[in-house]
A and B are shown apart, each in its own frame.
Chain A
Amino acid sequence: MSPQFVQYLLTGLTVGAIYALVALGFSIIFNASHVINFAQGEFVMIGGMATVSLVAVGLPYLLAIPLAIATAALVGLALEKFAVEPARDASVVTLIIITIGASMFLRGLAMLVWDKNLHALKPITGDKPIAIAGATILPQSVWVLGVTLAIVVALSWFFGRTLLGKAMLATSHNRLAAQLVGINVRMVLFLSFGLSAALGAIAGILIAPITTTSYDVGVMLGLKGFAAAILGGLGSGIGAVIGGLVLGIVETMSAGYLSSAYKDAIAFVIILVVLFFLPSGLFGKRGGERV
């Protein structure tokens, strides 16, 4: 492998890991409600911005990061409680439109609460590049990859081994049946927003030292995360992770070997081709809608 290839691969994995975290957030809410939450990108922004402002008032990372994640989770819960739940009898399309409105509202609010400037966070452990096989990677990228991996492991334990996780999974498979066996599906929906928001916030905090953060950083990351979720198959956890990584790697490889001007176009063309042959994504549930 040439050093160039290793560099593109490492970069692609880092970028892809962030897309994967955002995509996981989309999938969790989609599973609980069949709603695509377009405010997912805003959770990413809240995570980053809240950490910036908490660090600015003098808190150490060890306190600032959990507080920022909690803030985002609270915003997620509030979004469900005050915007989605009152409209729970409405159609899925209506709910999706509500989340689009919520994302605009949150962006505007962030602009007022914080400001319109870009902010940088200090990397968690220094910014001296690490050399691997002729390529370089930032310590922060190692954090991104490590934390993403840890989250994937934790989530698979949560959904596979805990009662609450199983309840959420059951709701995603069949809402009515889940309700009949005594699962509080409203509580599941409520918690899924909190969990998604926390995941988004973690992504936002991890990426802020690399890319800087601002009130509108969620727009593009939300879009890319959504694309990753679609590619992997909406609702599939493993699909979200693979979708994110594939999207990240395809983007950097096309920037490196083909043309940086068309890298987004190339990535989206590949997504379209995949969806043409596998309409429900790489790992999505097979079979048509039952009527």
Chain B
Amino acid sequence: MKSTLAKNSFKRGFAAAAAAFALISGPALAQEPIKIGAFLSVTGPASFLGDPEQKTLELYVDKINAAGGVLGRKLKLVSYDSAGDAEKARTFAKRLIDQDKVDVIVGGSTTGETMAVIPLVEAAQIPFISLAGAVVITEPVKKWVFKTPQSDRMACEKIFVDMQSRKLSKIALISGNGAFDKSMRAQCMDVAKNYGIQIVADETYGAGDTDMTAQLTKIKNTAGVQAVLNAGFGAGPAIVTKNYRQVGITLPFYQSHGVASKEYIKLSGGAAEGVRLPAGALLVADGLPANDPQRAVLVAYKHEYESHYKSDVATFGGHAWDGLMLAVDAIKKAGGTDKAKVRDAIEATHGFVGIDGVFNMSPTDHMGLNLSAFRMLEIKGGDWTLVK
């Protein structure tokens, strides 16, 4: 009895699989799919970036295919896990170009991985949309390279604008020794004078450090400090925030967009109250005014992602949404996958409403965002609120 049941269900399963196979392969035989290549840090130290990015790409490639694909062709996602390793990223990018022969590459969760791949895509002349933050990716402009996240320089500028409006001009900087931290620190130092900001203390901490009270005590005892800015992501900023309250500093405290996830609030406990940071509008999607141009796109993405994966949406997944949709938009406009035409179409993107902001690309700007892409948020009652 039991065995026949098993046999029956086996048969049924087989039939279903065969039917599914026929369904998938049917249209694919008729027309080649459009291949989207990706290399993301799904595991490793930057997995908090790569994981939501990968999930976003999978979810939306499926969605687009279910709605009939692009130009009547299905999308096919070819994705590799580069684990935060620039060397692996290079190998996978080579494979995407030479073996998989993808039409466009979306990926590079970190700046290091992205920079390692740029010489390859420039040589192969294939459109590449990076999901990493640093300014160096698109400055100077590289013909085939674009990026979707707001840059660290913009984060500094947004913070300094807010400081100016609060009449804070002497600040202390504390940052980690990771690539993100270092790049943001350099950018902030670079643009500070444009906003009349003077950096009177500059402290750093190591990647595995367990306590930053020494650095903060030093800042506390530096004369004239009016505000403190912490550039970093991961465990570091959470420890800095806790130590900040412990040593009893009461000055306004700013964090970077690197901590723009619920995780940070959770990890620092009550200590994160009153902290301000620049972040994409996604975190406050439901709280945006109805006339905000991004509201509809943000709310749709947030709800689709959260209902599908049963976990909180992260800004980083939004970078991947923008990358994929910019590519799809460009392929539609180019009327096919001719690489040069797709590249020109991405560069001509104008008024494209994405998750990270409204994109206006140009031959001199391959990111296409301005300061309005960042919102200044303050943590109140364990949640994000928009600073008016």
Partner-contacting stretch, out of B32-40, B207-215, B343-351, B374-382: B207-215
Looking at A11, A118, A263, the one whose CB has the most chain B CB atoms below 10 A away is A11
CB-defined contacts of B48 to chain A, threshold 8 Å: 116-117
Q: Does B267 have its Cβ within 8 Å of any Cβ on chain A?
A: yes
Give A260 to B172 CA distance when docked, in angstroms.
Answer: 14
Chain A residue with the shortest CB-CB distance to B245: A129
For B216, give the chain A residue with the smallest CB separation: A7
Kindly supply a per-residue 1/0 record for chain A positions 200-222, scoring 1 wherever the CB is within 8 Å of any chain B CB and 0 otherwise: 00000001001110101101110
A4 and B267 CA atoms in complex are apart in Å by 27
A99-154 interface with B by 8 A CB criterion: 111, 116-120, 127, 129, 135-136, 138
A8 within 8 A of B: yes
Inter-chain contact B215/A7, CB cutoff 8 Å? no
How many positions in chain B have a CB within 8 Å of any CB in the partner chain?
36
A interface residue count range (under 10 / 10 to 19 / 20 to 34 / 35 or more): 35 or more
Determine if B206 and A264 form an interchain contact, defined as CB atoms under 8 angstroms apart. yes
Known contacts being A4-B217, A118-B263, A120-B266, is A210 close to B211, with CB within 8 Å?
A: yes
Closest chain-B Cβ to A261's Cβ sits at a distance in Å of 5
A67-111 contacts to B (CB < 8 Å):
111
- For residues 177 through 236 of chain B, which have their beta carbon under 8 Å from a beta carbon of chain A? 177, 203-211, 213-215, 217-218, 221, 234-235
In this assembly, does B47 line the interface, its C-beta being within 8 Å of a C-beta of chain A?
yes
Also in contact, A219 and B208, with CB within 8 A (given A120-B269, A210-B239, A211-B239): yes
Q: With A and B bound together, what is the CA distance between A260 and B245 in angstroms?
A: 20
Q: How far is the CB of B355 from chain A (nearest CB, A)?
A: 22
Of the listed residues B206, B211, B218, B234, the one surrounded by the most CB atoms of chain A closer than 10 A to its CB is B211
- Cβ-based interface call for B141 (8 A): no
Known: A120-B267, A127-B269. A211 touches B217 (CB 8 A): no
A-B contact count (CB 8 A): 98
B214 near A116 with CB under 8 A, answer no
Tell me the minimal C-beta distance from A217 to chain B in angstroms.
Answer: 8
Contact, CB under 8 Å: A7 / B208: no
Residue A252 lies at the interface, judged by CB distance under 8 Å to chain B: yes
- B238 interface residue per 8 A CB criterion: yes
Q: Which one, A127, A220, A260, contacts B218 given CB within 8 A?
A: A260
- Are B210 and A116 neighbours in the complex by a CB distance under 8 Å? no
Q: Could you tell me the distance in whole angstroms from the C-beta of A253 to the nearest C-beta in chain B?
A: 8
B248 within 8 A of A: yes
Are A118 and B235 closer than 8 Å at their CB atoms? yes
Q: Taking CB as reference atom, which chain A residue is nearest B46?
A: A116
**Is B246 interfacial (CB 8 A cutoff)?**
yes
Across the interface, do B263 and A11 meet the contact criterion of CB distance under 8 Å? no
Taking a contact as CB atoms under 8 Å apart, the answer to whether A136 and B247 are in contact is yes
- Residue numbers in B under 8 Å from A7 (CB-CB): 213-214, 217, 247
Distance between Cα atoms of A215 and B263 in the complex (Å): 15
A184, B304: Cα distance in complex, Å: 62
* B204 adjacent to A220 (CB under 8 Å): no
Q: Is residue A14 contacting chain B, with contact meaning CB distance below 8 A?
A: yes
Complex Cα gap A67–B263 (Å): 26
CA distance A138 to B269 in the complex (A): 14
Q: Which residues from 300 to 356 on chain B have a C-beta closer than 8 Å to any C-beta of chain A?
A: none
Interface of A: prevailing SS: helix
Complex CA gap A184/B235 in Å reads 44
B208 to chain A, nearest CB (A): 2
* Cβ–Cβ contact A256 & B267, under 8 A: no
Contact with B along A207-251 (1 / 0, CB 8 A): 100111010110111011000000000000000000000000000
**Is B43 an interface residue when CB atoms closer than 8 A count as contact?**
yes
Across the interface, B214 reaches (CB within 8 A) one of A8, A224, A261, namely A8
Smallest Cβ-Cβ distance to B266: which chain A residue: A120
Evaluate whether A11 and B248 lie within 8 angstroms (CB atoms) in the complex, with A111-B43, A224-B208 already known.
Answer: no
Contact B248 A129 (CB under 8 A): yes
Q: By the criterion CB–CB under 8 Å, are A136 and B267 in contact? A: no
Q: Are B210 and A207 in contact (CB under 8 A)?
A: yes
Question: Is A15 among interface residues, defined by CB-CB distance under 8 A?
Answer: yes
A4-B221, A116-B43 in contact; A211/B214 too (CB < 8 A)?
no
Q: For residue B248, which residues in chain A have a CB less than 8 angstroms away from its CB?
A: 129, 136
Q: Closest residue to A5 on the B side, CB-wise?
A: B217
B262 CB to nearest chain A CB (Å)? 11
From 86 to 112 in chain B, residues with beta carbon under 8 angstroms from any chain A beta carbon are: none
How distant is the Cα of A217 from the Cα of B267 in the complex, in angstroms? Answer: 15
Q: What residues on B are CB-neighbors of A224 within 8 Å?
A: 208
Contact A261 B204 (CB under 8 A): yes
A-B contact pairs, 14 of them (CB 8 A): A7-B214, A8-B217, A120-B266, A138-B246, A211-B239, A212-B238, A212-B239, A216-B45, A219-B208, A220-B208, A255-B205, A255-B214, A255-B218, A263-B214
> Which 7 residue pairs spanning A and B have beta carbons closest together?
A220-B208, A255-B214, A256-B214, A211-B210, A116-B47, A252-B214, A120-B267
Interface residues of A, Cβ cutoff 8 Å to B? 4, 7-8, 11-12, 14-15, 18, 111, 116-120, 127, 129, 135-136, 138, 207, 210-212, 214, 216-217, 219-221, 223-224, 252-253, 255-256, 260-261, 263-264
